Structure 1
């Protein structure tokens, strides 16, 4: 069996590690308890979390025990990493609700039977901390100079970093200390933008408990040109079927660039690497078959085999010129401007983008190209209250008319 480090490297997960050789030895010696944290910034996880969940799943399958941490405590502050402004402060009720949504989604990836994994909420310990005791017991081990050198803080320095957010690194570091003390957790994993926070936790465990623990980051989900992947016209690519339908999810991966196929197959499926390399080497029309396999496998992991089958069947029907009840629906009314429907329904992010698409000939209604940016929907556009909208070559939407 591969060491888990080798597995993560081969599939392209590994970005940075605090002490790779010593961690490799620990993983060889027996099960290692590790954790990944998820702050409840929304009521659903999104494509950016997909990689972290897959990395956790691979480690669990290799015999190690995951702790899935939801941030009922850290969510009250908000991580400044990768942010140009302060996150919106959420109510306790919203945080609790989002945490419960996360728990259900995480359970699709991680096996919690027979104590194979643990689910915890850092609100259980962070909310009860005495602030003065925390400052003396934990704060004394952090230097402001070193904290400000962290990339997540440097990015915010000129625009303004609130003292609220400045505490986030200490809170996350304390999580690692708490999990090490109570569950024997020896490894924290997270996205590469979490490196500074993870190092802080490793160092705190060493100083407070004289424990050797490890930090490991996975690569972020990016395209071959370095830009973030997982964004759609309507916003994030969510893992909740109510926010992003299985068909939309399937189509996103079906339509990625050829250059991104190997990376996505490696990170977002369980396919053996020999098969990944073979599919990625395809050319011409065969590369589309590879994309269909990627889309199906990713959708099956997130939404289940039945939803993946239905999404694939829908795509095949639409590609052959048919119609399906499973494509995204957008409601509209007679007399409404099509450009308003497109932006309100999340088909396009702005009226400017909609106008450009129409001017470029990229929008059809019932297979008729729309050339008028002021086009108004009328009764002749609908059959039994429905019309088929096509954006570009591959994005389909069903317009449902509310008279």
Structure 2
């Protein structure tokens, strides 16, 4: 299957500058292509992954991807999707983010001995250009009328846009020209909001290299959930790739809780499963939705890809323990992941009567209520029911010497940290 055919089957193409020409080119030869990300933070979130998964598909089809980290454009700020000016970061902050994203990209997309995916930083060629060269050699090739007509700029004219952000499309166009001339790159891909920047780059290439220069652009559709809300958000905020920001368990749960209406689309976008495998899972969504096999497979594939097989197994262990109530089977680190969003209390290591302990922490409102819940069997500690009001809570109860999990009723969990 031609890579373009595969992307069309996966519904991963929004716009192309020359669909027929790109299909012909990818049939004829191995193509170099690129996608970029600006270092606005020290981690990508799952929304950033979408175009890079497409980039990886090109590699698997025999093409030669280039990942661009925007060390230069990141100091300016892409106005796309914004209604106000971005707060500029210091050069030191940008560089720290460049280092973090570079390591993240290498972990995700470059295996040992893999020389097919190249990584570049646009600061390397942009910082050498002085302001006179920028205006004469590049700015002269851009029509103000054309720049103002771009959606990303037009949407900002009423609220205002600085010359700094206005010039972003020139810098990104310069990137495409540099990679076309020096890395044989003939295709740029990006999200749908990058269409204006991509077409500006193609215009610059043709002005510099001639109208017959073979260069192309392709964008990926904006992804929305079935309910119309933005993809990639949870109640706690963005789903980050950095395990310190979003734990592997939280990451796994995000995908496992995917709506039936979205799961097949996500399987197509984010996994490398074959058409046959995805069609089979799609059938099970229709015939056996209660088993949630498609969601489980999606969660497994994504957690393995972003984190590791080990972290996937850990996330599955936490999930199984929470479902069964077998809390003692978890390590302290696994409890920290699984109960991160639970109500959290702190207790000292000294032994104390269970009734007093629950009231002092604030888990129970009164001693009377605590005694009633305990005698009725409504209180569990680390998965085991406590029915003795004279029970003494000691540091020995803490898993890994750090945590005690209290369940009140069927669903109300509390995490107690032992100080």
The answer to whether the superposition gives a TM-score over 0.5 is yes
Q: Is contact 2:22-2:216 (8 Å) kept?
A: yes
Q: Distance in 2 between matches of 1:230 and 1:313?
A: 24
Q: Distance in 2 between matches of 1:40 and 1:242?
A: 18
TM-score (normalizing by structure 1): 0.83
Q: 1:317 to 1:185 in 2, by over 3 A?
A: same
Name the larger-Rg structure: 2
| Deviation per residue, 1:105-135 (Å, 9 max, x gap) | 2123423635312110001111221112111
Q: Distance in 2 between matches of 1:10 and 1:147?
A: 34
- Counterpart position of 1:189: 189
| Deviation per residue, 1:60-105 (Å, 9 max, x gap) | 0000001110010000011010112222211111111111111222
- Counterpart position of 2:250: 248
Q: CA RMSD in A?
A: 2.6
* Unaligned ranges ≥5, structure 1: 339-363, 368-378
Q: 1:365 to 1:136 in 2, by over 3 A?
A: farther
- Counterpart position of 1:348: none
Q: Is contact 1:53-1:106 (8 Å) kept?
A: no
Q: How does 1:249-328 map to 2 (within 5 A)?
A: 249-282=251-284, 283-323=287-327, 324-325=330-331, 326=334, 327-328=338-339
Q: Distance in 2 between matches of 1:232 and 1:128?
A: 42
Q: 1:109 to 1:5 in 2, by over 3 A?
A: farther
By how many angstroms is 1:15 displaced? 1.0
Q: How does 1:40-79 map to 2 (within 5 A)?
A: 40-79=39-78
Q: Is contact 2:345-2:416 (8 Å) kept?
A: yes
By how many angstroms is 1:389 displaced? 7.7
Q: Distance in 1 between matches of 2:277 and 2:121?
A: 38
Q: How does 1:2-401 map to 2 (within 5 A)?
A: 2-111=1-110, 113=113, 115-210=115-210, 211-282=213-284, 283-323=287-327, 324-325=330-331, 326=334, 327-329=338-340, 332-333=345-346, 384=398, 385-387=403-405, 399-401=415-417
Q: 1:53 to 1:285 in 2, by over 3 A?
A: same
Q: Is contact 1:40-1:98 (8 Å) kept?
A: yes
Length, aligned pairs only: 362
Q: Is contact 1:65-1:117 (8 Å) kept?
A: yes
Q: 1:192 to 1:387 in 2, by over 3 A?
A: same
By how many angstroms is 1:226 displaced? 3.4
By how many angstroms is 1:176 displaced? 0.2
By how many angstroms is 1:154 displaced? 2.2
* Unaligned ranges ≥5, structure 2: 348-359, 364-377, 382-391
